[in-house]
A and B are shown apart, each in its own frame.
Chain A
Amino acid sequence: MKSELDTSRIVGYSLAVAASISYGASLVLAKQVVEEVPPLVGASLGMIFGMLVLGVVSSRDIKRDIRAPRRAFVWAGLSGLAAGGGIAMMFLAMSNAPVVVVAPMIAVNPLTAILFGQIFIRNIERLTIRMLLGACLVVVGVIIISLGRNV
């Protein structure tokens, strides 16, 4: 039982690191995209490509999940609106303030996720002091890197 839990955690952490690497690669590509087209256009078209390819690759999963409770789709839809809204807000922020100001503000989003998680889904999200400290260090580190890249 303990071994299964450990394996699941290792897989979960590996997925998180892989997601971070993918997002990191996308940041490098985004830099090239925004030199050619407005960020909103690049993000929208990128989302279309991502959605279409993922939709085709995972069509079997989607067919199975059609019977999932409607509330699950409502929450996922709200999450999509939040993700899209966040992107729009980020572009608005960048057009009104320099990146050195905007990047650190945006970097705190893991802490807001943890905060909202503790407010709304405390029953399914356990938080330890160690996790909170780790998240704070990541946020501080990302802010230092953002500032370091813009020195």
Chain B
Amino acid sequence: MTGILFALAAALIWGIGNVWIRIALQEMRPTTGAVFSLFVGLLLLFPLALLLHWDDVTSISAGVMGTIFLYGMANFLMGRFLNYSSISRIGLNRSIPIVASSPLFALILAVMFLDESVNAFIVLGTVTVMGGILLIVTDRR
């Protein structure tokens, strides 16, 4: 039950956070919004990471650091910047559902590079996501 409550809290917090950035982006560029939001987010997360996992932080190998760097580029540089740029151009309601389809692209990459297998659930989910995106993109109003 605790896990479910934390998961729901995450969904709610991310939801309201997207509204707040939508408001901010009316008066600042997506790049600035992304850098500033990352800075403030770090003020919350990095001390927690140091406090709880000091030994892990101080013993990371160069190879793992390289993977973390690539992860940071994909998620916090490209992902967040492109996400905010999209919100700035087409608004929250059109952008967020499309951005939220990322597990579909993760799956495609995992199938391509990690030999992950595809089953009936995955095919059904993919068709459903594509249908949803199509509905949003073809909305002319």
A: which residues have CB within 8 A of B? Answer: 8-9, 11-13, 15-30, 32-33, 36-38, 40-51, 53-55, 57-58, 61-62, 64-65, 68-69, 71-73, 75-90, 92-98, 101-102, 105-117, 120-121, 124-128, 130-131, 133-149, 151
The interface residues of chain A lying within 8 Å CB-to-CB of B15 are 109-116
Contact indicator B139/A131 (Cβ below 8 Å): yes
Give the secondary structure class of A's interface.
helix
Give chain B nearest CB distance to A27 CB in angstroms: 4
Contact indicator A77/B37 (Cβ below 8 Å): yes
Give chain A nearest CB distance to B6 CB in angstroms: 4
Give the secondary structure class of B's interface.
helix
5 A-B Cβ contacts within 8 A? Answer: A24-B106, A76-B37, A81-B44, A134-B131, A143-B125
Q: Which of A11, A23, A26, A79 is the one whose CB lies under 8 Å from B89?
A: A11
Q: A46-B68, A77-B40 are in contact. Are A137 and B129 (CB under 8 A)?
A: yes
Closest to A95 in B: B3
Contact indicator A117/B22 (Cβ below 8 Å): yes
The interface residues of chain B lying within 8 Å CB-to-CB of A94 are 3
The interface residues of chain B lying within 8 Å CB-to-CB of A61 are 29, 31-32
Contact indicator A47/B42 (Cβ below 8 Å): yes
- 6 closest A-B pairs by CB: A97-B3, A50-B76, A82-B17, A148-B121, A24-B105, A112-B15
The interface residues of chain B lying within 8 Å CB-to-CB of A64 are 29
Alpha-carbon separation in the docked complex, A39 to B52 (Å): 11
As a 0/1 sequence over residues 84 to 104 of chain B, the CB contacts with chain A under 8 angstroms (1 = contact) are: 011001111111111111111
Q: Which of A53, A73, A146 is the one whose CB lies under 8 Å from B36?
A: A73
Contact indicator B20/A78 (Cβ below 8 Å): yes
Alpha-carbon separation in the docked complex, A37 to B58 (Å): 11
Size of interface on B: residues with Cβ below 8 Å to A: 118
Which of A15, A64, A133, A151 is packed against the most chain B CB atoms within 10 Å?
A15
Q: A75-B21, A84-B44, A121-B19 are in contact. Are A16 and B67 (CB under 8 A)?
A: no
Alpha-carbon separation in the docked complex, A73 to B26 (Å): 11
Give chain A nearest CB distance to B114 CB in angstroms: 7
Contact indicator B114/A28 (Cβ below 8 Å): yes
Q: A15-B82, A24-B104 are in contact. Are A137 and B76 (CB under 8 A)?
A: no
Q: Which of B67, B101, B108 is the one whose CB lies under 8 Å from A138?
A: B101
Give chain B nearest CB distance to A45 CB in angstroms: 5
